[in-house]
Amino acid sequence: MRRKAGRSHILFLTLLFASLLLFLLPDEQVSSLRGRALSAVAPVLNSVRDWKPSQNLHPASLETPASPTSAPAAPAVVTPVENTSQLAQFAAEIDRLRAETITLRSDNMRLHSALPGAGAAPMQPNGLHADVISRRMLWQEPILAINRGSAHGIHVHAGVLHRNAVLGRIADIGPGAATVALTTHRGVSIAARLADCRQEGVLQGMQGVDGSERLCRLQIVGRECLAKEGEQIVTSGFDGAFPAGLWLGTVLKVAKSADVQWEITVRPACDESRVESVQVLTVDTPAVPWPEMPILKRRN
């Protein structure tokens, strides 16, 4: 008995040491490991998702985020619908049609560019439809798992949209699945612009003040900030992950954080709990070249 207890103590210490080694793994390896593990369990999570009977039942899942051009975001009016199953069917149908639209739009752009003498194709984000297979994972920062991965043409840091509003960026990726870090995730930063006053800055995730609602912060450098509460924030397109003009969120509060620095609290455009399917942008993130510096000639 004593020998057995001693053996389990040794095992306990060994496992504790092994877990310390896991703790010290570099982030790149963890990211790749997570992507692969998620890909491995994606079929199971997919079938659980398909099996769920109550999926999309929330009437709010039908709400489309207001476009940035529509002035101050009015509270969404939800019409009481008695037949919730019919509502769920409509929501699923809408998402299916959206996915079809995305595919058709991509085809259209491809064919348009192949036509001899045709002008530039209309600028629309080219993307891939994906379903959410997991969310709210214990202590994880705000992250969603989706059922598309590198095998489908998705790459790390690609932009993710939900009904044409920005949802986040791809964080970890495996062959058959990926995780999306939402705009409220502290590690995500997106180049943004205030829609009315046109000031630009960087949007990052932050914890809500009361701890319940997760918000974002937009940092702007400038002598003055003309942002107003309720103003819309859109992508500026400078980070290369998103085209310019996509809706990011709404200004909640404007505060001066330093002499020439402003911090704007932003409510994100998408509510993660209502997202069932997303659009992952498949355009390659362009490598921004350094501008060519003129060679200075010495005057001797």
Partner 1 sequence: MQAVFCLTLFSVLAIVLQFGVVPAVAPPLIRPDFCLIFALAALVMGPREFGLVCVFLLGFVADMFGSSRFGLLTISYLLAAGALMGLTGKDMVRGDTLLGALLAIAGTLLAHGAYVLIGRAIGLDLPWSRAGAQLLGLAIGGALVAMPVMFVTGKLFFRIGMMDGAERETWLLRERASAAQRRRAARAGGR
Judged by CB under 8 A, the chain residues 51 through 80 that form the site for partner 1 are: 52, 54-55
Tell me the window of 24-32, 193-201, 218-226, 233-241 that interacts with partner 1 (CB under 8 A): 24-32
Q: Which residues lie below 8 Å from residue 66, measured CB to CB, with a gap of 6+?
A: 73, 74, 247
Regarding 137 and contact with partner 1 (CB under 8 A), the answer is yes
Residue 254, beta-bridge partner list = 264
Rounded distance, CA 79 to CA 213, Å? 25
Report the SS3 class of residue 194: strand
As measured in angstroms, the least distance from the Cβ of 26 to partner 1 is: 10
As measured in angstroms, the least distance from the Cβ of 79 to partner 1 is: 24
DSSP conformation class of 273: G
Regarding 217 and contact with partner 1 (CB under 8 A), the answer is no
As measured in angstroms, the least distance from the Cβ of 254 to partner 1 is: 23
Cα of 2 vs its chain's centroid, Å: 54
As measured in angstroms, the least distance from the Cβ of 296 to partner 1 is: 45
One residue of 102, 133, 241, 269 binding partner 1 per CB under 8 A: 133
Residue with Cβ nearer partner 1 (277 or 282): 277
Tell me the window of 20-28, 89-97, 121-129, 161-169 that interacts with partner 1 (CB under 8 A): 20-28
Regarding 111 and contact with partner 1 (CB under 8 A), the answer is no
Backbone angles phi, psi at 57, to 5 degrees: -75, -20
Rounded distance, CA 145 to CA 235, Å? 23
One residue of 2, 3, 24, 77 binding partner 1 per CB under 8 A: 24
DSSP of 51-120: H-TTTT-SGGGGPPPPPTTS-S-PPPP----S-HHHHHHHHHHHHHHHHHHHHHHHHHHHHHHHSTT--P
Residue with Cβ nearer partner 1 (106 or 207): 207
Contacting positions for partner 1 (CB under 8 A): 4-5, 7-8, 11-12, 15-16, 18-25, 30, 33-34, 37-38, 41, 44-45, 48-49, 52, 54-55, 133-141, 145, 186, 207, 210-212
